[in-house]
């Protein structure tokens, strides 16, 4: 080959390589491959065949436009065809005279009314696996195929194989995504229906038990208290479930107003004080005198804080301390709930805010809960464009911290934005 021709070939191959990332779809890329394959090897035709594992034969994936309709439905057997031989052996093949070679599959010629005189074919390989064949037919001017032609075809074949592989992977990723979205929808529907269906009977149980508790006096007080306590626990679980659901479906709306974090903290501490005392845990607030006003949805922030305080009490042994601290921190309100409890193993820290995640599995579990409290807390904080995280050491205790922007709108200057790490 003369040097200018070689440079021209290299430039054209380079153009095909570029197409690997720029071609709009697989078909047009493979079309450019067979066009170059026939031109650069000075052949009449070229085509790409892909192995079809269901039919156990090769099928035409790309071919010259005038043969398309004829060849698309056609299968090429693995035995008794040159392409099949290349596929099975995983080796390239040159046949200078097809009439003298039994491997040529004559049916294609009959269908396309073409006569194949010579051919060169290479396997399409991906990581040692043959996925198809690229072939060029009928070297023009009665010339013979050369090693040079083989090298060109091998280069183009490698590109075609990669493109086919990428396309298959992309298809798989797409269908996995659809499957995942279906599963997620199923889970969300299940949560929505369950929480909705449980809420009414639970409300009735609680209402009637409270009514009876007042009527029955002291004789059945313990039994009725147990019913009320456990029904209340169930109600908390149902509410957590529907909070998660509302957040996921986008039904959760922030009703912002100027609220005092000091007040929310005091209310939360009051709610949990009896439970903390009964477990001999000191529950206290460090607030100072500021009301700590923020533009926020007080109910949602209350839910987030309650879930953190509830966990802190639950995962702290008798004699321990749970502290809620609020302070202002460069344009944000910072709320910290720290405990001297069992802590969280470092490997589990990244997962504690996931739905249904629990450090101990249900089978070995000493503590109740459904693994929803922290994901609800995170949803509530996220709704406010805030941020929540945990610092913890196993055996020493945990500190859950969340930040809320003080103003509803307006992002603070990037320099003191604690959300950019």
Please say whether the beta carbons of 162 and 15 come within 8 A.
no
Considering only residues 371 to 400 of the shown chain, the ones binding ligand ADP according to CB under 6 A are 371-375, 398
Considering only residues 87 to 106 of the shown chain, the ones binding ligand ADP according to CB under 6 A are none
Position among 261, 335, 352, 404 found at the interface with ligand ADP (CB under 6 A): 352
Residue whose CB is less far from ligand ADP, 397 or 405: 397
- Sign of the Cα pseudo-torsion (263, 268, 274, 276, in order): negative
Position among 58, 76, 359, 380 found at the interface with ligand ADP (CB under 6 A): 359
Q: Which of 127, 159, 128 is nearest to 40 (CA)?
A: 159
The burial of 265, by beta-carbon neighbours within 10 Å (0-12 exposed, 13-18 middle, 19 or more buried), is given as buried
Nearest approach in angstroms of CB 338 to ligand ADP is 9
**Using CA atoms, how far apart are residues 277 and 404, in angstroms rounded to an integer?**
30
**Using CA atoms, how far apart are residues 383 and 376, in angstroms rounded to an integer?**
11
Establish if 157 lies at the interface with ligand ADP (CB under 6 A): no
Nearest approach in angstroms of CB 226 to ligand ADP is 21
Nearest approach in angstroms of CB 168 to ligand ADP is 39
Residue whose CB is less far from ligand ADP, 101 or 275: 275
3-state secondary structure string across 61-90: EEECHHHHHHHCCCEECCCCCHHHHHHHHC
Both structure tokens of 100: 């003298």
Position among 70, 227, 254, 370 found at the interface with ligand ADP (CB under 6 A): 370
**Using CA atoms, how far apart are residues 217 and 147, in angstroms rounded to an integer?**
102
Contact region for ligand ADP (CB under 6 A) — 116-124, 201-209, 353-361, 407-415?
353-361
Residue whose CB is less far from ligand ADP, 19 or 341: 341
Binding string to ligand ADP for residues 283 to 312, with x set by CB under 6 A, is what?
------------------------x---xx
**CB atoms inside a 10 Å sphere around CB 248:** 18
Binding string to ligand ADP for residues 42 to 71, with x set by CB under 6 A, is what?
------------------------------
367-to-183, 304, 342 alpha-carbon distances in Å? 28, 20, 12
Binding string to ligand ADP for residues 113 to 142, with x set by CB under 6 A, is what?
------------------------------
Considering only residues 187 to 206 of the shown chain, the ones binding ligand ADP according to CB under 6 A are none
The total number of residues written for the chain in this structure: 421
| DSSP annotation string for 314-365 | HTS-TT-EEEEEEEEETTEEEEEEEE-S----GGGGGGTTSTT--SS-GGG-
Which residues have a Cβ under 8 Å from the Cβ of 249 and sit 6 or more positions away?
188, 192
Nearest approach in angstroms of CB 87 to ligand ADP is 54
For residues 115-147, one letter each, b for 16 or more C-beta atoms within 10 angstroms of the residue's C-beta and e for the rest, the string is ebbbbbbbbbbeeeebbbbbbbbbbeeeeebee
Position among 341, 379, 384, 405 found at the interface with ligand ADP (CB under 6 A): 341
| DSSP annotation string for 264-304 | HHHHHHHHHHHHHHHTT-EEEEE--S---EEEE-HHHHHHH
Nearest approach in angstroms of CB 322 to ligand ADP is 8
Nearest approach in angstroms of CB 294 to ligand ADP is 23
Residue whose CB is less far from ligand ADP, 124 or 352: 352
Residue whose CB is less far from ligand ADP, 19 or 343: 343
Contact region for ligand ADP (CB under 6 A) — 68-76, 245-253, 354-362, 407-415?
354-362
Contact region for ligand ADP (CB under 6 A) — 8-16, 112-120, 176-184, 369-377?
369-377
3-class DSSP state of 134: strand
Nearest approach in angstroms of CB 270 to ligand ADP is 20
Enumerate binding residues for ligand ADP (CB under 6 A).
307, 311-312, 315, 339, 341-344, 352, 357-359, 369-375, 398
């Amino acid at each position: 080959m003369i040097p200018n021709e070689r440079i021209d070939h290299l430039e054209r191959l380079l153009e095909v390589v570029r197409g690997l990332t720029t071609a709009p779809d697989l078909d047009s890329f493979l079309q450019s491959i067979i066009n170059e394959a026939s031109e650069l090897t000075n052949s009449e035709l070229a085509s790409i065949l892909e192995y079809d594992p269901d039919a156990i034969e090769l099928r035409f994936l790309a071919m010259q436009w005038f043969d398309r309709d004829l060849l698309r439905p056609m299968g090429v057997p693995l035995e008794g065809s040159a392409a099949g031989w290349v596929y099975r052996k995983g080796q390239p093949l040159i046949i200078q005279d097809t009439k003298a070679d039994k491997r040529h599959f004559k049916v294609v010629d009959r269908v396309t009314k073409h006569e194949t005189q010579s051919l060169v074919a290479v396997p399409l390989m991906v990581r040692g696996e043959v996925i198809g064949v690229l072939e060029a037919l009928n070297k023009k001017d009665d010339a013979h195929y050369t090693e040079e032609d083989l090298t060109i075809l091998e280069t183009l074949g490698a590109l075609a194989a990669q493109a086919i592989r990428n396309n298959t992977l992309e298809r798989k990723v797409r269908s996995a995504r659809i499957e995942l979205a279906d599963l997620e929808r199923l889970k969300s529907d299940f949560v929505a229906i369950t929480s909705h269906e449980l809420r009414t009977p639970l409300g009735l149980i609680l209402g009637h038990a409270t009514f009876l508790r007042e009527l029955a006096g002291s004789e059945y007080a313990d039994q009725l208290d147990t019913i009320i306590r456990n029904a209340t626990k169930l109600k908390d679980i149902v509410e957590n479930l529907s909070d998660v659901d509302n957040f996921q479906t986008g039904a959760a709306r922030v009703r912002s107003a100027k609220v005092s974090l000091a007040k929310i903290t005091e209310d939360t501490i009051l709610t949990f004080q009896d439970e903390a005392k009964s477990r001999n845990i000191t529950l206290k607030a460090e607030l100072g005198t500021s009301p700590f006003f923020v533009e926020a949805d007080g109910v949602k922030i209350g839910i987030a804080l309650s879930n953190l305080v509830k966990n802190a009490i639950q995962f702290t042994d008798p004699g321990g301390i749970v502290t809620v601290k609020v302070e202002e921190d460069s344009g944000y309100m910072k709320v910290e709930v720290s405990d001297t409890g069992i802590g969280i193993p470092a490997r589990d820290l990244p997962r504690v805010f996931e739905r249904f995640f629990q450090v101990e599995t249900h089978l070995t579990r000493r503590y109740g809960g459904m693994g929803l409290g922290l994901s609800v807390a995170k949803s509530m904080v996220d709704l406010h464009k805030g941020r929540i995280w945990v610092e913890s050491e196993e055996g020493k205790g945990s500190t859950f911290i969340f930040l809320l922007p003080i103003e509803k709108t307006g992002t603070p200057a990037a320099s003191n934005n604690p959300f950019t790490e």
